């Protein structure tokens, strides 16, 4: 039994009053309103991290292939990575996908060969599909690694952005040595800096 307003109320009739229920609903609503943007931001962050990691892994794989094969390999942006014969036609829009091939003459073209990756002929090594709802841009259309794994002349900053803009962006920097590293926010303004030290821009 419970006493409410001087009246003994049976335990079976205990419950929320209308005002208590309204207050509870209001509190839940406020908590949900606060949590949803934070949750969405977390999901977007995890997607961006996954995508930039995928690109970094592709660059490292390309470098290792150049060293292993003892020849030049080219990693380039491609608008049609799943085509029967993909090409370096993605310009600087890497989000459309990219391809990797042995590039013996360093002409950035996947020349016709037997397809068996025989010594001395170009051959397709791997393709990567595009990354939807994100942009991945750079000042380069391709990276060519030499047999020592260097990428002289192809150093640049790759910028991965979503609809949140620069402060939520990720970036990586490729050095002439062929090493790739994450871009840092050197000036503390929340925007990663390019290899030249400037704030990156989106897209």
CATH number, domain with residue 81: 3.55.40
Determine the Cα–Cα distance for residues 143 and 193; give it in Å rounded to an integer. Answer: 21
Query: Do 94 and 142 meet the contact criterion of CB atoms below 8 Å apart?
Result: no
Question: Which residue reads 């205990």 in tokens?
Answer: 14
Question: Which residue reads 């990797």 in tokens?
Answer: 100
Task: Tell me the residue range of the domain where 78 lies.
Answer: 16-148
Residue 113 is assigned to a structural domain of this protein: yes
Q: For 42-67, write each residue's pLDDT tens digit.
A: 999 999 999 999 999 999 999 999 99
Q: With bands split at pLDDT 50, 70 and 90, how would you rate the model's confidence at 10?
A: low
* CB atoms inside a 10 Å sphere around CB 4: 10
Residue 191 is assigned to a structural domain of this protein: no
Q: For 175-202, write each residue's pLDDT tens digit.
A: 999 999 999 999 999 999 999 999 999 9
Q: For 154-170, write each residue's pLDDT tens digit.
A: 999 999 999 999 999 99
Determine the Cα–Cα distance for residues 191 and 186; give it in Å rounded to an integer. Answer: 9
Residue 45 is assigned to a structural domain of this protein: yes
What's the pLDDT score for residue 78?
A: 97
Residue 155 is assigned to a structural domain of this protein: no
Query: Do 150 and 178 meet the contact criterion of CB atoms below 8 Å apart?
Result: yes
Q: Is the peptide bond before 81 cis (omega within 30 degrees of 0)?
A: no
What is the total count of domains within the chain? 1
Residue 63 is assigned to a structural domain of this protein: yes
Q: For 141-156, write each residue's pLDDT tens digit.
A: 999 999 999 999 999 9
Q: With bands split at pLDDT 50, 70 and 90, how would you rate the model's confidence at 32?
A: low
Which range among 6-15, 25-34, 79-88 shows the weakest confidence by mean pLDDT?
A: 6-15
Ramachandran assignment for 120, one of left (phi > 0), alpha (psi -120 to 50 degrees), beta (any other): left
Residue 189 is assigned to a structural domain of this protein: no
Query: Mean pLDDT highest for which of 32-36, 109-113, 132-136, 154-158?
Result: 154-158
């Amino acid at each position: 039994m419970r006493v409410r307003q001087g009246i003994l109320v049976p335990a079976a009739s205990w419950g929320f009053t209308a005002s208590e229920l309204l207050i509870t609903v209001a509190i839940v609503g406020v908590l949900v309103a606060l949590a949803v943007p934070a949750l969405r931001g977390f999901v977007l962050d995890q997607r961006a991290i996954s995508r930039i990691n995928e690109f970094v892994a592709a660059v490292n794989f390309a470098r290792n292939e150049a060293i292993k094969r003892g020849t030049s390999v080219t990693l380039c942006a491609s608008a049609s990575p799943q085509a029967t014969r993909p090409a370096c036609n993605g310009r600087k829009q890497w989000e459309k996908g990219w391809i990797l091939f042995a590039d013996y003459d360093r002409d950035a073209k996947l020349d016709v060969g037997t397809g068996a990756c025989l010594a001395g002929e170009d051959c397709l090594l791997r393709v990567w599909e595009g990354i939807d709802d994100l942009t991945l841009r750079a000042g380069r259309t391709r990276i060519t690694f030499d047999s020592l794994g260097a990428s002289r002349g192809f150093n640049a900053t790759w910028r991965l952005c979503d609809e949140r803009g620069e402060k939520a962006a990720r970036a990586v920097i490729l050095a002439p040595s062929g090493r790739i590293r994450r871009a840092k926010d050197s000036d503390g303004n929340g925007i990663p800096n390019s290899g030249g030290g400037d704030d990156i821009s989106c897209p």
